[in-house]
């Protein structure tokens, strides 16, 4: 029986379509009826209007009360007309994006130089000063990722980038169980490179963070991929010399959550996995076999106490470097006073760029001229450039 030949079915479908069409015009009718009336309405009792929701800002807080005789200023809040919001419609744009980028929130747009560049080395030689930044050898005046190298000092470099002038210091690496990495402001970014290594010790198995070096049940495995079951899941034939006690001779195992893209007959490198149980699988021949299952785990950040220990380790290294820098500056001052031309040149550059000491152009010129008078070519070249700049 064809339903569309039944006139009652056709009439019913037509009525439904008409109702849907009329319903689509409902918002337009509501907007036409929701205009405020100019006629006064007498209320029995005055009802206080709810206070508008105040947006979080850096502006000073408004006064709690208004003196008598003065007009009360409207309380700060979300202006619905400003953000394009209507009660029976949709926002023209995100209503919370009211305040645009300003001088006080540039950090939201541009990360600091310490999160973009990494300083690993500085070379001071007569006639040239170089630095290693992000694996590249740079000179003063070069630009790396939007940051112009203005000055290469003895312990850091000064750059000019989107947020203006910034100082990039050596960021010491810390060691976690033999794995060295930088401990920056963002912990996830700090551990990203180290976690990419197969020997990273912190992994989540069955919802619990494990340390493969300490927690029980972890085994070192090595072998050959017998079959790729699915992404990250492999049937592996273990090497006889590295076979753990739980696996019988000639018995394969299933390894799960392995973040390596392997194919059949590939060599499995040495990895640590945790024994989590057993599983029955169907081989290519159709036979069902029960084998042990091991979990490589999901890499994760270290526990909180480990992170705090790393922070203390970094703070200790930074403190040592600050003390070494202060000792170096004191020795340079002593050597400069004794008439050593190289120390006078270095001290002059420090005063010139504010490298570790307060910037002072007069003292910079004094020490540079003292070094140049003794024939120091670097000081003579620096004075020549300063002379052209004037």
Q: Are residues 277 and 332 in the same domain?
A: no
Domain boundary residue among 269, 299, 329? 299
The number of folded domains in the chain is: 3
The mean-pLDDT minimum among 65-69, 253-257, 316-320 falls in 65-69
Q: Are residues 227 and 288 in the same domain?
A: yes
Residue 33 has pLDDT above 70, yes or no: no
pLDDT the model gives residue 172: 63
Residues across the chain: 390
CA separation for the pair 250, 4 (Å, rounded)? 68
Answer whether residue 380 is part of any domain: yes
The CATH number linked to 249 is 2.40.50.110
Domain boundary residue among 264, 299, 334? 299
pLDDT tens, position by position, 152-194: 887 788 899 988 888 888 766 656 655 565 655 454 555 555 6
CA separation for the pair 5, 52 (Å, rounded)? 59
pLDDT tens, position by position, 266-280: 999 999 999 999 998
DSSP E strands in the chain: the ranges are 119-125, 128-133, 136-139, 143-144, 147-152, 156-161, 164-169, 173-176, 179-182, 202-205, 208-211, 218-230, 233-238, 253-256, 267-282, 288-295, 298-299
pLDDT the model gives residue 66: 44
Q: Are residues 212 and 277 in the same domain?
A: yes
CA separation for the pair 209, 151 (Å, rounded)? 45
Work out whether strand 179-182 and strand 253-256 pair parallel, antiparallel, or are unpaired.
unpaired
pLDDT the model gives residue 101: 43
Residue 236 has pLDDT above 90, yes or no: yes
Answer whether residue 227 is part of any domain: yes
Indicate the DSSP class of residue 196. Answer: T
Strand partners of residue 147 = 144
Where b means 16+ CB within 10 Å and e means fewer, 119-143 reads beebebeeeebbbebeeeebeeeee
pLDDT the model gives residue 189: 52
Local confidence band at 19 (pLDDT 50, 70, 90 cut-offs): confident
What is the maximal distance between C-alpha atoms in the chain? Answer: 113
Where b means 16+ CB within 10 Å and e means fewer, 293-331 reads bbbbbebebbeeeebeebeeebeebeeeeeeebeeebee
Question: Alpha-carbon Rg of the chain, whole angstroms?
Answer: 36
Query: What is the domain range of residue 275?
Result: 203-299
Residue 40 has pLDDT above 60, yes or no: no
Mean pLDDT of 191-220: 84
pLDDT the model gives residue 64: 40
Cβ–Cβ under 8 Å, residues 107 and 122: no
Residue 5 has pLDDT above 90, yes or no: no
Answer whether residue 27 is part of any domain: no
């Amino acid at each position: 029986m064809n339903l569309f030949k039944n006139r009652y079915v056709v009439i019913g479908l037509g009525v439904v379509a008409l109702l849907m069409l009329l319903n689509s015009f409902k918002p337009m009718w509501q907007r036409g009826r929701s205009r405020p009336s100019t006629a006064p309405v007498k209320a029995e009792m005055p009802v206080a209007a709810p206070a508008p929701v105040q947006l979080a800002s850096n502006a000073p807080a408004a006064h709690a009360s208004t003196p008598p005789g003065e007009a009360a200023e409207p309380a700060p809040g979300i202006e619905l007309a400003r953000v394009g919001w209507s009660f029976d419609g949709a926002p023209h744009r995100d209503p919370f994006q009211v305040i645009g980028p300003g001088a006080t929130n540039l950090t939201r747009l541009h990360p600091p130089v310490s999160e973009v560049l990494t300083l690993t080395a500085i070379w001071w030689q007569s006639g040239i000063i170089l630095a290693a930044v992000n694996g590249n050898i740079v000179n003063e005046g070069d630009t790396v990722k939007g940051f112009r190298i203005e000055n290469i000092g003895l312990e850091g470099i000064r750059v000019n980038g989107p947020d203006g002038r910034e100082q990039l210091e050596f960021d010491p690496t810390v060691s976690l169980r033999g794995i060295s990495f930088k401990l920056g402001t963002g912990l996830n970014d700090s551990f990203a490179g180290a976690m990419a290594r197969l020997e990273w010790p912190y992994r989540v198995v069955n919802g619990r963070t494990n340390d493969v070096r300490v927690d029980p049940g972890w085994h070192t495995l090595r072998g050959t991929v017998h079959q790729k079951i699915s992404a990250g899941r492999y049937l592996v034939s273990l090497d006889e010399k590295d076979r753990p006690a739980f696996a019988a001779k000639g018995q394969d195992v299933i390894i799960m959550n392995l973040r390596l893209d392997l194919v059949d007959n590939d060599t499995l490198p040495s990895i640590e996995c945790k024994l989590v149980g057993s599983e029955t699988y169907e081989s290519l021949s159709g036979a069902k076999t029960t084998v042990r299952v091991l979990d490589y785990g999901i890499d994760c950040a270290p526990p909180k106490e480990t992170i705090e220990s790393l922070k203390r380790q970094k703070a200790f290294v930074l403190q040592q470097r600050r003390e070494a820098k202060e000792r170096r500056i004191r020795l340079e001052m002593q050597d400069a006073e004794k008439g050593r031309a190289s120390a006078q040149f270095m001290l002059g550059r420090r005063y010139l760029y504010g490298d570790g000491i307060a910037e002072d152009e007069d003292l910079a010129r004094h020490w540079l001229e003292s070094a140049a008078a003794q024939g120091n070519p670097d000081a003579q070249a620096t004075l020549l450039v300063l002379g052209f700049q004037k």
